Amino acid sequence: MTNLAERISEAADFVRGQCSAEPRVGLILGTGLGGLAEQIDTDARIAYEDIPHFPHSTVESHAGRLVCGNLSGVPLLAMEGRFHYYEGYSLEQVTFPVRVMKELGVEILIITNAAGGMNPQFALADLMIIEDHIDFMPENPLRGVNDDSLGPRFPDMAEPYDQKLIATAQQAALEMGIPCQKGVFVAVAGPNLETRAEYRMLRAMGADVVGMSTVPEAIVAKHAGLRTLAFSVVTDMCLPDALEPVNIEKILAVAARGGDRLAKLIPRVVADIA
């Protein structure tokens, strides 16, 4: 196996050949949030399995692809479908696409996810801008020998999510009349959802929402020197004293509602930040 920097460079060379312009923004579309991809003025859709060194899908779920094109006139790369730790990938594999985006010239990463709402003030289909996170996953994407050409050994985490981008997104949501919360995301490994006792603990730790993604990508983005903006869509309410069993159809329906809001907000945010 070649080293990480070589693998990144080979994957980036392959993708570069299919894009008309150098992407400035990277976008990761979470579960049920793929609708936004339809708004991209597309140059190419590249199946993950065609990209050298991209993780190979181990699950039956729909094939993921990298979409290269323009959104609001800004060249960007979007991941339709992401890799999750619970699928069996290492966190180096989960975050490999972020490394490739950086290599291709991306400066700003926008991450989206579906998450469980633990803050009782939140409602289903609410958007939440992630202001900070708690990493509660059992692995770290930066564990192992550090390649100093990719980033520092001990990356700072005082501001994992860019305050200027957060302010821009909040202002855009306000002007567009899109309800938008701001809060703390906690990442768990999954794939099972949490017990009542776990929700109580995660809430007491200071988290507003819980999900099974995003934090590994945000850590690698920080390591790589990208500016990150991240949104959760609240797909189910996780109130320990009023917990209902999850219903995946219901979650996907709520994700679609939140996804419609993101599909309005993100093109505007991309226009504002570019």
Residue number with CB closer to ligand HPA (31 or 228): 31
E strands of the chain, at which residues?
25-29, 41-47, 65-71, 74-80, 108-117, 127-135, 180-187, 209-211, 227-237
Backbone φ and ψ of 258, nearest 5°? -65, -35
Question: Judged by CB under 6 A, which of 126, 131, 194, 208 binds ligand HPA?
Answer: 194
CB within 8 Å of 167: residues ≥ 6 apart:
none
Residues 149 to 188 in contact with ligand HPA, rule: CB under 6 A: 188
Residues 112 to 131 in contact with ligand HPA, rule: CB under 6 A: 114-116
Question: Judged by CB under 6 A, which of 7, 235, 254, 269 binds ligand HPA?
Answer: 235
Residue number with CB closer to ligand HPA (4 or 124): 124
237 binds ligand HPA (CB under 6 A): no
What is the rounded distance in angstroms from the CA atom of residue 236 to the CA atom of residue 194?
Answer: 12
Question: Judged by CB under 6 A, which of 4, 124, 134, 193 binds ligand HPA?
Answer: 193
Least separation in angstroms between CB 27 and ligand HPA: 19
215 binds ligand HPA (CB under 6 A): no
What is the rounded distance in angstroms from the CA atom of residue 89 to the CA atom of residue 205?
Answer: 27
Q: Answer whether the bond into residue 245 is a cis peptide, omega within 30°.
A: no
Phi-psi region of 125 (alpha: psi -120 to 50; beta: other; left: phi over 0): left
236 binds ligand HPA (CB under 6 A): yes
Report the interface residues with ligand HPA, using CB under 6 A: 114-116, 188, 193-194, 210-212, 235-236, 238
